[in-house]
Amino acid sequence: MNKTVVSVLAIAATLVGGIYIGKFNSKMIPPWEPDPVDVNEMTVDSAIVAQGKLEPFGGTYNVFAPQGQTVTGYQFDQKLQQNNGIGSFTEGVYLEQGFELVKFSGQELLKKQNELAAAKIADADLELEAAVAKAQFSYRAALMAHEEAKFRLAQVEAQKDQSINQKKLDNARKKLERMKELAKDPDLGKLISKQKIEDQQIELENAELELQKAIKQVERAEKAAKFAVKAAKENVDDAETAVNKAIEARDSPPKSLKAAKDLADANENMGKIKSPIAGRVLKIYVKPGESVVNTPLLKMGNVEKMQCVAEVSDRMVGKVKIGDRVDIISPALGDKPINGTVIKIGKMVGDGSLPMPNPLAMVDKKTVDVTIEIDDNGVEKARDYINLQVTVKIKSGQNNAAVGENKQ
């Protein structure tokens, strides 16, 4: 009897409790309304509440390097020590864009190969320069030889004047004629012997021979001199051509050497990992002595300005406008929020990556990234908490005048 009563009372209590709980839940979570504990669906005082993450302005940059290389050191080691007064690998150093970041084990070999290629080009340049100098020397020598040949020709041409020999011949002829006339005279003929006449005849013939010999000798010399001038001129032309070719070769080094140097330059430059931006080193993943695998060398970001990327529910993002003012809240940031302005609304809908603070929140929610530029007075605080997950309140309707445009 007692057992029966207890059982009935227990069943009744269970039914009543179930009804009460059902009524309580129906008031808290109506089936047609969104989950109130999901911060991506909440609006507080007309503000759209979402989760976000603090980032350097423009996001962070992972710097990668060819796999298999061994890091021997970072080029900013000394700068780190100067800035921080302690050992290397202290994150936080600021680097200019294009700063060479790291030294690899294979870089020295690539540098030597590049130096060798440069040395070969330098040797070739010296040889080509020497060839130009030699050709120019030969050209000057040819010019001098040409001038000497022309001078000798002028001397030979000056010898073509045979007036002296001609005068000797004329005198010998006249003398012979007078002797023959005297020989006919009855009185004076006794003074001119036949032998004297014959001797004078021989002298005349010798004068004629001397004149002809001189003329032929000058003709031969002139011919030789003209030939020498012509040959010397040809040598000058050949030497000038050789100079031009040597200069052309000097100004256009062998393509094979240039190609080898270009390849060495490319290989060495490929081994140089430079800072993609002007910004701060946020995290170093690979230390000296370690090999590069699938991880980046380091992470960088421009922390001169900061931003917050909020994941706004796709059902609420339509209320967000460019220029809306935002409160950014986190215990790490202190009692007062830091503020910012919406500068970009994404066009891609995806799964949110930030965990919800409430464990009962929906986990399959679709979100759109909204970028918020943090005000200058909040940058210093925000840069100390990069990647901090924060709660953002987007004050829809509180809009700054045209601070940006809705970008892709």
pLDDT for 220-245, tens place per residue?
A: 888 898 899 999 899 999 999 999 98
What are the phi and psi torsion angles at 30 (to 5°)? -65, 140
Q: Name the packing angle between helices 107-158 and 194-251 (round to 10°).
A: 160
Half-sphere exposure of 117 toward its Cβ, with a 13 Å CA cutoff?
Answer: 21
pLDDT at 171: 87
CATH class held by domain 111-258: mainly alpha
pLDDT at 356: 76
Q: Give 35's pLDDT tier (boundaries 50, 70, 90).
A: very low
| CATH superfamily of the 34-59+302-399 domain | Efflux pump adaptor protein, beta barrel domain (2.40.30.170)
pLDDT at 173 over 50: yes
Any idea where the domains of the chain sit in the sequence? 1-33, 34-59+302-399, 61-101+273-299, 111-258
| Most confidently modeled range among 71-80, 98-107, 143-152, 396-405 | 143-152
Cα-based distances in Å from 219 to 160, 167, 207: 8, 20, 18
Of 34, 10, 14, whose CA–CA distance to 313 is shortest? 34
Q: Tell me, what DSSP letter sits at residue 375?
A: P
Top pLDDT among 12 and 310 is at: 310
pLDDT at 340: 96
What are the phi and psi torsion angles at 338 (to 5°)? -95, 155
Of 364, 363, 365, 372, whose CA–CA distance to 391 is shortest? 372
pLDDT at 360: 59
Rounded Cα gap, residues 299 and 275, in angstroms: 10
Mean pLDDT value of segment 208-230: 86
pLDDT at 344 over 90: yes
pLDDT at 4: 52
Which tokens hold the place of 138?
């030969």
Cα-Cα end-to-end distance for the chain: 77
Q: How far is CA 232 from the centre of its chain?
A: 51
Which tokens hold the place of 140?
């000057």
Candidate from 73-82, 207-216, 231-240 with smallest mean pLDDT: 73-82
pLDDT at 160: 73
pLDDT at 90 over 80: no
pLDDT at 132 over 80: yes
Mean pLDDT of the chain: 79
Mean pLDDT value of segment 288-302: 87
**% pLDDT > 70, the chain:** 80
pLDDT at 262 over 50: yes
